[in-house]
Structure 1
């Protein structure tokens, strides 16, 4: 990649979360604890579901273990590099490493989005179409949904990465973010970024908003069906099965829409770094707690898992 003055950009400088060196140790400690908690929490969810034969056969929990795996990968894409840079005080990343980080960040983020949509479909079929649930949400269909989530996400990410690779960076190599993301890189490019921006707001909007609209429509139908349930206890049980998923959807999409569906010219390092921390760090760490603390079946699975560990 060459700029107009024939210099070669071989690396970028990630300006990180804070430029105050005296806060580096504090930030390193906080984010290390959050990263380890996220990995451990999601691994426990995966193990608990896999060791419980009944849960493993249920589509909702099949999607959940895939979501936990993606959350681990999603956070691992950005946080370990950020921790290394914070500890060393040298916030460098190679040009190839930057594009690779952006690729996997987008891919895992979109996979997360599609898995949340698959879980919404599962809840819709369970509550609104219970007689067709076993047929529609068969094991074969669940595997197709998960495979499609991974495949489409990586193709989507490949498109954005290839478009980014054609740009030149000549004015500066300082990225106003703690990882390589689309808008911070577009901000410092000296090439015409109209095509990149257009793709983000068309194809990108279609992919992300398509999943969100599907989730919203599914839950609108679920809400109508639940309100028709005559007993209060029946309504409570129906809402409890959807509450965890809706909480996760709200956390994930709220911050994603805040960052990506605004004009790239209005990108602000401070406010968007805070939003990025929410969906790259905070949401993955909360997901296992949300799904376990509000779900009686997951609580039972965790008790069985802990009981096995104690007995062994």
Structure 2
């Protein structure tokens, strides 16, 4: 962390110019209203989910809702890192940001996206234990284990971000420092560097293998095991009930990982395109907005707690 701060202070006189989401000025006002509404909606949705989980012990002490509370907290932080610069770009594009602000945004973005990957893997493991090892569930998913998995997710994302951001901050940028994006992302920054980026790309690749691919393999292995158990269940009703407990998480995980892998599976040192920005909107705006709806839309326990909170019965 100290090394990262030194590198950031070294280049505080540099600025980056963000071209924003769209170059068409005639649609900026409409897009600004849409994304501001989405931003407020995302915050409201996740704050409501987090409040319901924290204020009701019957939810907070269940591992599934404990992880969901962590996910809601992460989503609020996650969208607050990228959305302000997107909105700023729609008000006055191109948007100029300082070097230190750009590196800070990159650091938070990498940390949160890494945390989300490992947190989704922890949630997949929780569903695996609940369905495949139901008798041992209270022991395998006791509070100490849940807290350990959650803290490991947050610390793992933080550690990966320190390493990757330090490597990117050590690069030199000779200008013009123009990013064809609405926030400071890895690929556009590597594309602007006028120094050798092989080591940085190697670090990025290794961290992607450890964080992204590692968590994805854990999630896939959990759902393969769940699928085998569901096939062997003698009762269709029991199989459907078990499937309904993990369908929401599987859908959220599928959307998130699909977009991330498609976006970052190509070499990092490439020119940013409008497709990159569209995909970035999906995993920085769409998934945080849809996650609370997907998780809670068909959840009877959340519905009951919400009605109780609103005094509807």
Same fold by TM-score greater than 0.5: yes
For residue 284 of structure 2, the aligned residue among 280, 287, 294 is: 280
Aligned partner (choices 13, 17, 21) of residue 13 of structure 1: 17
CA distance in 1, matches of 2:61, 2:245: 17
Q: 1:251 aligns with which of 251, 255, 277?
A: 255
* Map of 1:174 onto structure 2: 178
1:30-50 CA distances to partner (integer Å, 9 max, x unpaired)?
A: 110110010000011011112
After superposition, the Cα gap between the structure-2 partners of 1:177 and 1:13, relative to the gap in structure 1 and judged at 3 Å, is same
Q: Aligned partners of 1:112, 1:36: CA distance in 2, in Å? A: 21
Secondary structure of the equivalent of 1:12?
Answer: strand
Helix, strand or coil at the partner of 2:310: helix
CA distance in 2, matches of 1:173, 1:268: 13
Paired position in structure 2 for 1:128: 132
Alignment of 1:147-296 (within 5 A): 147-296=151-300
What secondary structure is seen at the aligned counterpart in 1 of 2:240? helix
Q: Shift in Å at residue 266 of structure 1?
A: 4.3
Q: How does 1:74-89 map to 2 (within 5 A)?
A: 74-89=78-93
Gapped regions of structure 1 (runs ≥ 5) = none
Alignment partner for residue 38 of structure 1, among 23, 35, 42?
A: 42
Counterpart-to-counterpart distance in 1, 2:18 and 2:71: 28
1:107 aligns with 2:107: no
Structure 2 counterpart of 1:143: 147
SS of corresponding position for 1:92: strand
> Where do 4+ consecutive residues of structure 1 move more than 3 Å?
265-268
The normalised TM-score by structure 1 is 0.94
Q: Distance in 2 between matches of 1:216 and 1:140?
A: 24
**Whole-Å separation in 2 of the counterparts to 1:10 and 1:24:** 27
* 1:179-230 superposed Cα distances (whole Å, 9 cap, x missing partner): 0011010011111111111111222222111000000000000010111111
State the distance in 1 between where 2:16 and 2:248 align.
Answer: 39
SS in 2 for 1:256: helix
Work out whether residues 13 and 99 of structure 2, in 8 Å CA contact, stay in contact via their aligned partners in 1.
Answer: yes
**Cα drift, residue 232 of structure 1:** 1.1
Q: Would you say how many aligned residue pairs link Structure 1 and Structure 2?
A: 305
For residue 55 of structure 2, what is the aligned residue in structure 1?
Answer: 51
Distance 1:80 1:278 in 2: 16
5+ residue gaps, structure 2: 1-5
- Specify the SS of the correspondent of 1:16: coil
Provide Cα deviations, 1:136-163, integer angstroms capped at 9, x if missing partner: 1010111111111111110100111100
TM-score by length of 2: 0.94
Aligned counterpart, 1:61: 65
How far apart are the structure 2 equivalents of 1:127 and 1:39?
A: 32
